Structure 1
Amino acid sequence: MPGQAPPPAEADSAQAGRAAEPGKQRDAFFDNAKYLAIVLVAIGHAWEPLRSESRTVTALYMFVYAFHMPAFIVISGYFSRSFDASPGRIKRLVSGVVVPYVVFEVAYTFFTRWSDNEPERQITLLDPLYLTWFLAALFIWRLTTPLWNAVRRPLPLALAIAMLASVTPSIGDDLDLQRVLQFLPYFVLGLCLKPHHFELLRRREVRLLALPVLLCATVVAYWAVPRMNYAWFFHRSSAQQLAAPAWSGPVMTLAIFGCSVVLVACFLALVPRRAMWFTALGAGTLYGYLLHGFAIQAANHWHWSDHGWFHEPLGEITVTLIAAAVMTVLCTPPVRRLFRPVMEPTLDWAFRRQGSSAADRRR
């Protein structure tokens, strides 16, 4: 689906990371960061039909896609540091990632039959549809966490894998492995981070520099619109598939990684540390991420972008505000309560009790 790059989402890594510590209070900073980033996901998807007729919208689209998905993945990696493949964590991985992946892969398949007028579209769990690619990626990344925690230089190794993926068009579409491998360094970077790294972002000089850097990046994006293929930021294609020479794949992988990390740092430096009116919504970003796709697909089915007014500045601002409002509603507690059975099932019936299984092994 064109333009369906990164977007979220995140499989609520913070929630998974804290599940093992029920008494620990949520961190307002990370909930704020997740909410703001998920709103950018919705806005980016809403901008997609407007790109072709507006250089400004395309520049903003490129700017947002340069850091919003890397930010989610870095946070996901940070809260996956303690994943050790123990039975309890495997259970949470299945209930919080695998089950939503299967449910929404099926749901999006049936919905796309109507929205894209493709009645013959088949259900396939190996070819993630639309937004579900991130859940498949998170499942793979989490399972490999013990490996990254064991090797001596995890980030250079992950970058080397991403660079090789960028020149390997034969990887194919199974589980969207191209994106899994090219986004891998951001997850590994999150695994390598410690709390004091985030404290560095609170320094006054960092916060003062963050906004000018983001503004400069926006100007550069505007300059780059006619000169660069923004599909590089989607990380779902090899260099050859983007009609670029093979050598440019590793070069762009490193360049985009450096650019994205700087922008992620600036974004996080500007995120409020204190509790805000939207802080509680940060716990529901997975819900907003997976559900907003239905609204986006339905709107595109009715060809809203064919109306010329939406391509005018006021119309573009209206679309942006509507997307932010829809995403905000989808992250609210009532929506989370309604969809919790499929998003956070308990699955106690599917897993052995750890105590009894240990007794069985002793016997």
Structure 2
Amino acid sequence: MFHAASSLVPSPSSTANEKDQHRSSPDGRSKQRDAFFDNAKYLAIVLVAIGHSWEPLKGDSRVLQATYQFVYAFHMPAFIVVSGYFSRSFDGSPARLKRLVTGVVVPYVVFETAYPLFKRVVDHDTGTPVSLLDPYYLTWFLCALFIWRLTTPIWRMIRHPLPVALGIALLASAAPGVGDTLDLQRVLQFLPYFVLGLCLRPEHFRAVRNWPVRIAAVPVSALALVFSWWAVPRMNTGWFYHRDSAQELGVPWWVGPVMQLALFGCSLLLTACFFSWVPGRTTWFTTLGAGTLYGYLLHGFLIRGADYRGLFELDALHRPLGEVAVTVAVAAVVTLLCTKPVRWAFRGVMEPRMDWAFKRDITAPEQVRVPERQPVRERGKREKVDA
């Protein structure tokens, strides 16, 4: 945000940060932050955390497995689409690169180090290495976001970015040689959703939130749940993670592009259904949308800690009431992790200022001094003297 003194008018410097883009509302209203996007981010991150808590429980319930697959078909695609939408203004300028380092690279280094150390302490596992080249657990998203944003100017420049990104994802799904370095399989296979976000405009979000779409989303989601229930014994859940090639999942190479294309279509359909029912008004959880990265990175310690200590092995949690209790508890915890006190406590590692680490932006225009306006009477007197 720009600051202006009474006689100083700052000339245009770096573009405003991501938060300013919330002024473009899918409802056509102008506001400081658009409640729709904050609501969408919060609801998506709650689904992400719930999905992680279901993973160690789903083996005993076909219903839970079906719901798990249903949620995994769209929760990360929805979150990535929104991330791409708010990356549209990334232009590689010094201010943007600084924000990328402090808001993505630093948290990646911190949590990529913290998670293996946490496993060593809680699980007494000394064999887990600390490696910045092999993203651990949740940190793959930060690694992917860094790469995606760096390439944003390219996607904004080429004529048909989405087909190109989709083609790259299809090729990656049949290329086991991509390997695990920087989790490139996920980076490439999820790339189309990020590029789609770059291509979207506010009117696209308005379109999916019309009442005909909202009404149609109900039977579409119901049919998707029924299909998920049918697919439980017939489909490998690994396809939803997008971290392995077709060969690594035990099928011929050509199945990879086919499945990638099918999942892309299904994910987009369910993502549209999800967006259609996201509230556009300010709700009690709207302000939590600004802290979704905190909830995302911190809830992993609770899920992993419970898993390491064997809490998910309790028989009570493998019954319907236990599964519901876990779902509610995790939703409440991730909600707390998005609140302002938690953000204040962890801001030093999640959003550090780090002015000491960067040179002053010498490319930014200097402030231009504008002379103060003189009173009308005094200005007329001066004109008489000059005459």
Instruction: Compute the TM-score of the two structures, normalised by the length of structure 2.
Output: 0.86
8 Å contact from structure 1 (residues 87, 354) kept in 2:
yes
Q: 1:337 is matched with which residue?
A: 344
Q: 1:149 is matched with which residue?
A: 156
Q: 1:315 is matched with which residue?
A: 322
Following superposition of structure 1 onto structure 2, how do residues 181-260 of structure 1 map, counting pairs within 5 Å?
A: 181-260=188-267
Q: Percent identity?
A: 63
C-alpha deviation, 1:21, in angstroms: 9.0
Q: 1:79 is matched with which residue?
A: 86
Aligned Cα RMSD in Å? 1.7
Pair 273,358 (structure 1): closer, same or farther in 2 beyond 3 Å: closer
The structure richer in helix per residue is: 1
Instruction: Compute the TM-score of the two structures, normalised by the length of structure 1.
Output: 0.92
Structure 1 CA distance for aligned equivalents of residues 170 and 124 of structure 2: 37
Match of 1:43 among 50, 53, 62: 50
Following superposition of structure 1 onto structure 2, how do residues 118-197 of structure 1 map, counting pairs within 5 Å?
A: 118-197=125-204
How many residue pairs match? The answer is 345
8 Å contact from structure 2 (residues 39, 285) kept in 1:
yes
Pair 197,50 (structure 1): closer, same or farther in 2 beyond 3 Å: same
The farther-off stretch of 18-27 and 74-83 is: 18-27
Q: Could you give the per-residue CA deviations for residues 98-150 of structure 1, whole angstroms, max 9, x where no partner exists? A: 00000111111100113443213221100001100000000000000000011
Structure 2 CA distance for aligned equivalents of residues 321 and 93 of structure 1: 34
* 4+ runs deviating over 3 angstroms: 19-24, 355-359
Q: Could you give the per-residue CA deviations for residues 32-84 of structure 1, whole angstroms, max 9, x where no partner exists? A: 00111111111101111111111111111100000000001000000101110
**Equivalent residue of 2:51, what SS?**
helix
Structure 2 CA distance for aligned equivalents of residues 208 and 154 of structure 1: 31
Structure 1 CA distance for aligned equivalents of residues 291 and 117 of structure 2: 24
C-alpha deviation, 1:185, in angstroms: 0.3
Q: 1:17 is matched with which residue?
A: 18
Pair 130,18 (structure 1): closer, same or farther in 2 beyond 3 Å: same
Max radius of gyration: which structure?
2
Structure 2 CA distance for aligned equivalents of residues 207 and 20 of structure 1: 25
8 Å contact from structure 1 (residues 127, 174) kept in 2:
yes
Pair 358,33 (structure 1): closer, same or farther in 2 beyond 3 Å: closer
1:286 and 2:287 aligned: no
Structure 2 CA distance for aligned equivalents of residues 309 and 118 of structure 1: 27
**Equivalent residue of 2:281, what SS?**
coil
Letter matched to residue 18 of structure 1? K
Q: 1:11 is matched with which residue?
A: none
8 Å contact from structure 2 (residues 20, 33) kept in 1:
no
8 Å contact from structure 2 (residues 22, 37) kept in 1:
no
8 Å contact from structure 2 (residues 20, 32) kept in 1:
no
Structure 2 CA distance for aligned equivalents of residues 49 and 117 of structure 1: 20
Uncovered stretches (5+) of structure 1, i.e. residues with no partner: 1-14
Structure 1 CA distance for aligned equivalents of residues 156 and 121 of structure 2: 44
1:34 and 2:41 aligned: yes
Structure 1 CA distance for aligned equivalents of residues 262 and 225 of structure 2: 17
8 Å contact from structure 1 (residues 46, 323) kept in 2:
yes
Uncovered stretches (5+) of structure 2, i.e. residues with no partner: 1-15, 24-29, 367-387
Letter matched to residue 325 of structure 1? A
Letter matched to residue 155 of structure 2? W
Pair 357,192 (structure 1): closer, same or farther in 2 beyond 3 Å: closer
Structure 1 CA distance for aligned equivalents of residues 64 and 364 of structure 2: 56
